[in-house]
Structure 1
Amino acid sequence: MCLISFAWQPGTPTPLRLMGNRDEFHVRPTAPLAHWQDHPDIAGGRDLEAGGSWLAARQGGIVAALTNVRDPLLYAPLDSPSRGELVANALACEDIAAWLSRLSQGEALRYAGFNLLVATPQRLWHLHRGRDRLVLNEVAPGVHAISNADLNSPWPKLLNVRRAHAQASLEEWPSAVKDAMHNSQEAATEALPDTGVGLTLERQLSAAFIIGEHYGTRATSWLTLDAKGDIKMTEQRFGPLGHFEGETTLALPNDSNETSL
């Protein structure tokens, strides 16, 4: 994904409410939100070119989400694996904390830059792989957002969606946050970050919802993770020039009645 906003409130009936936009080339083959045939206990959208995902969840109360870090000066090996496989790997591993620790100790350097969120009802980890640092932290309670830099980097679209999320009541979820995610207004030139892609592209990418013929926002997805480990996910899909292409909602109940650690 390229923009995620989330409310992390451990110890409450709904520890996680998360929403994000996935921006991608429209020609890249993609499967919509569904249970994965090779892992029926996992549900999410899927990149059919590399096999990974940007947002997915596993029955039992585990969620993983990813954004890329946009930094032309960040070195990555030429044979770097797809960053989307990190989401799939997070949901397949048995010891999330140990797996994330190994990544933070150097294994993540095989990949280009990314932010990875992994959540259970009790814990939420953020792994950042940037140009100058590789760091793993547990996220503090509150409302946060990520785009293509670090957690809570003050990009205009990030600040706007985080503000909408923080101000939205439980009754206004998800509609108020979705309105902010669907805002196609570009940021003022003086407020743009400088990620090395040039002013024209920087301006286009500054919108929360990117409308383009060849590249743009292809999905808006949101989910809730409750204290019992039950997950509900919705995905809206969009084609070139923002054309609406459909919506899917799935539930992943925690049938074991056991929450993940």
Structure 2
Amino acid sequence: MCLINLHFQQHANYKLIVAANRDEFYDRPTKQAHFWDDKPFILAGRDLRQMGTWMGITKNGRFAALTNYRDPSQAETGKRSRGSIVTNFLSGNVKPIEYLSSLQKDKDNFAGFNVILGSSDSLYYYSNQENKIRPINVGTHSLSNHLLNTPWPKVTKGRDKLKEYVQTHSEMVHDDLLQLVADAEMAEDHALPDTGVGLELERNLSPLFIKTDGYGTRASTILTIDINNMVHFTERTYEGGIAKNEVSYHFKINS
């Protein structure tokens, strides 16, 4: 993912609400969200190059989502696939704190990343750039390609839009949330971060929904888990900024 907006608990009808975008090169082979043939308890999209994923949930309610940390000065060659971080958590049964503690010891084998994982009852955040395991507090949060809730324009905007929506709606309509993360408005230059990629690219990467030549938002994913542990998962895929397909899944978390 490149933008994860989430609302954790603090709602009369929902325990977890996620509205996220995955940005990637258009030519990178990907399979849209499905229950995996080799691990049929995992619902997630799949990167067909490294066979990992960026966000997923299991039938037992294990959830994980990952973003890259943007720092062009860091070498990425020779590092392990970051998609394996999500896949390995979803595949196992290790408690979140134990998993992140193990990951912490292995942090230098990965290029910069952020991960949010756990369940709708308890969530944790870890970045190998900050190197601290943090519980996610109740409320609304946003994560892009820096640390959690870093006040980049897209982070602040995404968090504020989701917060307003959940505070004014008793039911989460997935089409509404998909529209929320389809905002392609660029930020003003004075508000842009300086991550070392140059002004033009900072502009192009500043919207919630990215459209450039060769790179942009490939999928928007909405995940809601209600107070009865019903999961509703919708993924809309895009090609060159144009919506191409949509899948939805619904199931109750195994107790």
Q: TM-score with structure 2 length normalisation?
A: 0.93
Distance 1:51 1:102 in 2: 21
Is the 2:3–2:155 Cα contact (8 Å) retained in structure 1? yes
Return 5+ residue gaps in structure 1 as ranges: none
Task: Work out the percentage of aligned pairs sharing the same amino acid.
Answer: 35
Per the alignment, residue 144 of structure 2 pairs with 147
Alignment RMSD = 1.7
Deviation of residue 233 (structure 1)?
A: 0.8
Residue 72 in structure 1 maps to residue 69 in structure 2? no
Give the SS at the match of 2:86: helix
Deviation of residue 228 (structure 1)?
A: 4.6
Q: Tell me the alpha carbon deviations over residues 125-146 of structure 1, each in whole angstroms, 9 at most, x when there is no partner.
A: 111121xx31111111010000
Per the alignment, residue 83 of structure 1 pairs with 82
Distance 2:17 2:156 in 1: 17
Give the SS at the match of 1:103: helix
Structure 2 counterpart of 1:98, one-letter code: E
Deviation of residue 75 (structure 1)?
A: 5.4
Residue 244 in structure 1 maps to residue 243 in structure 2? yes
Aligned residues: 251
Is the 1:11–1:227 Cα contact (8 Å) retained in structure 2? no
5 Å-filtered alignment, 1:112-123, equals 112-123=111-122
Distance 1:85 1:10 in 2: 31
Deviation of residue 62 (structure 1)?
A: 1.2
5 Å-filtered alignment, 1:188-207, equals 188-207=188-207
Greater shift in the superposed pair: 177-186 or 223-232: 223-232
Q: TM-score with structure 1 length normalisation?
A: 0.91
Structure 1 counterpart of 2:112, one-letter code: G
Per the alignment, residue 170 of structure 2 pairs with 170
Per the alignment, residue 8 of structure 1 pairs with 8
Distance 2:250 2:61 in 1: 11
Distance 1:165 1:16 in 2: 12
5 Å-filtered alignment, 1:44-83, equals 44-74=44-74, 78-83=77-82
Is the 1:237–1:244 Cα contact (8 Å) retained in structure 2? yes
Distance 1:150 1:140 in 2: 15
